[in-house]
Chain A
Amino acid sequence: MGNDISETIGYIVGGGLKDNLRVRLTIPPQQVQEGGFVVIESGDWHFYGLVTDLQLGSTDPRFADEQSERRLPEGIASLLHGQTLYTNLEVLPALMLETGPDLSSERYAEWRKSLGDREPRLIPVKTVPAHHAPVRLAQAGDIAAIFGDSSQPGNFIVGYTREQNHPLCINLDKFVQRSSGIFGATGTGKSFLTRIILAGLIHYNRSSVLVFDMHNEYGYDDTASDTNQRVIGLRTKFPGRVRIVGLGRGASIRGQAPDFNLEIDEKDIEPEDIELLYSELNLKETTPTTLAALLHTFGKNWYHQFKIMKVGTFVETEEGKRVPAPGSVAAWADEVGVNVMAAEALHGKMSRMFNKPYIVEQSVKNSVQEIIKLLEAGLHVILSFGDYETDLDYLLVSNLLTRRIRETWVKTTNEYRSKKNPEPRQLVIVVEEAHKLLNREMAKQTIFSTIAREMRKYSVTLLIIDQRPSQIYDEVLSQLGTRISGWLGDDADIQAVLSGLAGRDHLRGMLSRLQPKEEVLLLGWGVPMPMPVRSRRYDDRFWQELLGKGNEPENEEEIKKKLGF
């Protein structure tokens, strides 16, 4: 297709769809890296693939064993090595595109006519290029053709190709259509990557974002744990669009007051919220029965009633018999026929919850509803847990809030479908430490697995952030559209991230060799093909590129200068 021959890095010498393609490298191996994005031109087709391995080879093992450069003059040795020693690339073919004959060719007009109105489009690879088809590294144009042009709205640069530094985009519209995941071992830059993606989503503003910010990282400015440098918070850059909600009255996030506080009404707590805390509260098999009895006896007020019950109080009857005092757990249990020991044990275990100040009998204002309204209005909410950093707080609040959100979105969607209401706003719920909510035991009980499985049709999707993807329930993991993964060391985690993807055996090594904090692997439905990239830096330049220089908050000196002081 008329490409400069100097761009060619090699030619096809063998392979297939199952075993990858083998490419004889004609340039020094150091100029190509694992994960390199290559284009193979064969006939009227372009094949796009990923370098998964580089192997040294020789036409005869003796040429490799013998250090002939010591015996022969440099010129002859160099010629000998060029002919007998070589490097083969293994290329995982991913996509193919019909490009047709060369523009200057006579056949071009005929080919164009045969297409009719149809435009050639990328399809998963279904055949192989011919022997000796030239192979070259992808150029910026190839990458834009596959991953999208960064100048188009909705295309957001997440990183750059390793060798040639070409920008590589993900399509945010596609990204939010299905649940997504950001994975990586601790210290591999997950938080920074999440900030970058969130900044992109908020800036693009096609979906609302609700972040369960367990460690108070995303809202206000923070200090990086490893470099001690200031990290800009999302609220700082999007003051008009982002609201910070603190958990509990008087919460302080990084020394600043949130926009408002979240308090949970006792009536909002449902038995399933407690069942979710099965392992956290070390609950027993009898818990669901006890909770069902509580709900049956007290209705929506069950939590409050259970909370005020006494334990271990007795009264003497007229006959002098010692019986549980009225208003005690045992008295209620006896009355409704529930095992007393089980009920008292549950009360004891739930005392950790009873002491939570953010669970109140009657909140001043319905802050849960306020969060939902903000999200419906297109704003973005970061729920900071403040000092409530235990798993109990996180699991309880995130599940409860998400359940309420789901109810609202399901209702709005149903109304929209019956043409009564406008379409619900797309919502992305960002969940950190996702394995705590979506592990095998929990997944069936929490609302999150329901969302991951079916909420796409109700315009709510998850963005899961986790360092142990292997702990997440397979059924949820397999539903994730876009997966962005940093370095992972554990085999089970690597396998989990790659589950359900073609060519995972070849991608496995790539994932374990990513440069921590610098490189990530893009995978899944949301990206046309798996691709390792040098991730974008979360720094001043990022903000300048995203918001433009004019949108930078000015410092005092500049403002004074403009005013003529």
Chain B
Amino acid sequence: MTVIEIGHLLRAGTTGCVVGCSVSQISAPQFGGMVRINPEGSGDYHIYGLITNIHIDDDGLVRQLVTAADIKPEIISDNRMNRNVPVEISVLFIGYAQQKAIYHLLPPRPPLTLDAIYLCTPVEHVQFTGAGHFGYFRHILRASDLPVGELLAAHLRQVTNNHKDQGNPEWLGNATQELITLLRDDYPTLMSVLGALSDTRLNY
């Protein structure tokens, strides 16, 4: 299985981090995608997270270019490929693995700057999301500043088929049921999450 690197760490905290990458790498990561960080020199300590935001900041040149009347394609291409400001990817930590055991808890220490970030493989998807009983939903539901419904919908859409391929078609139903249990006292959020899940067109 090919391991896809999507960038290097810019800054981090206990609950999440921001990763920088060049525009040429932007096709791989997607909103809701699961990533893994293996902090350098920490052996089999892996931190797992979900991409919650992909942010493209402007710079001085692009501010001038957008007002130009006629921008040539090569200028656009040059601006994108050679720009100095990286694309920023926000990651929400959802757990970690240590000595081959998976924990749906916040990582004990954050990764360091310039640690490499990788997209999780389907096998890692299944291993991490299939461990325990959806404890990592806690971290997602706590993030009130995020579009929780959209994030969960994107995450479930990416992971469900991997579980199906691994012979666990009930995973989606179980995950949805757990979300309902966790959110049944919060009617607006639950209906927003279920509305988003409906739009995934996943087969229940």
Contact = CB atoms under 8 A, between A and B. Distances in A.
Contacts of B204: 73-76, 78-79
B184 A60 contact: yes
B201 to A, nearest CB: 9
B185 A59 contact: yes
Interface stretch (A43-51, A80-88, A269-277, A509-517): A80-88
A80 B195 CA distance: 12
Interface residues of A, number: 17
Interface string A530-564: 00000000000000000000000000000000000
B187 A62 contact: yes
A84 B203 CA distance: 22
A63 interface: yes
A224 interface: no
A83 B187 contact: no
Nearest to A82: B177
Nearest to B180: A83
Contact of B187 (A60, A78, A79): A60
Interface in A31-78: 59-60, 62-63, 68, 71-76, 78
Interface string A300-344: 000000000000000000000000000000000000000000000
Interface in B176-204: 176-177, 180-181, 184-185, 187, 190-191, 194-195, 197-198, 203-204
B173 interface: yes
Given A76-B176, A76-B204, A59 B184 contact: yes
B187 A63 contact: yes
Q: What's the dominant secondary structure at chain B's contact region? A: helix
B198 A72 contact: yes
Contacts of B173: 75, 79
Contacts, number: 42
Nearest to A66: B191
B184 A79 contact: no
A235 B126 CA distance: 78
Interface size class of B (residues with CB under 8 A): 10 to 19
Interface in A64-122: 68, 71-76, 78-80, 82-84
A76 B197 contact: yes
A70 B180 CA distance: 18
B184 A84 contact: yes
A84 B180 CA distance: 8
Contacts of B198: 71-73, 76
B185 A79 contact: no
Interface in A124-165: none
Contacts of A71: 195, 198
Contacts of A83: 177, 180-181, 184
Contacts of B184: 59-60, 63, 83-84
A315 B198 CA distance: 111
A493 B187 CA distance: 48
A60 B185 contact: yes
Contacts of B181: 83
A76 B156 CA distance: 13
A280 to B, nearest CB: 68
A75 B198 CA distance: 10
Nearest to A58: B184
Interface of B: 173, 176-177, 180-181, 184-185, 187, 190-191, 194-195, 197-198, 203-204
6 shortest interchain CB distances as A-B pairs: A75-B204, A83-B180, A59-B184, A62-B187, A84-B184, A79-B177
Given A72-B195, A83-B184, 7 more contacts: A60-B185, A68-B194, A73-B204, A74-B204, A76-B197, A79-B180, A83-B181
20 contacts: A59-B184, A63-B187, A68-B191, A71-B198, A72-B194, A73-B198, A73-B204, A75-B203, A76-B194, A76-B197, A76-B198, A76-B204, A79-B177, A79-B204, A80-B194, A82-B177, A83-B177, A83-B181, A84-B180, A84-B184
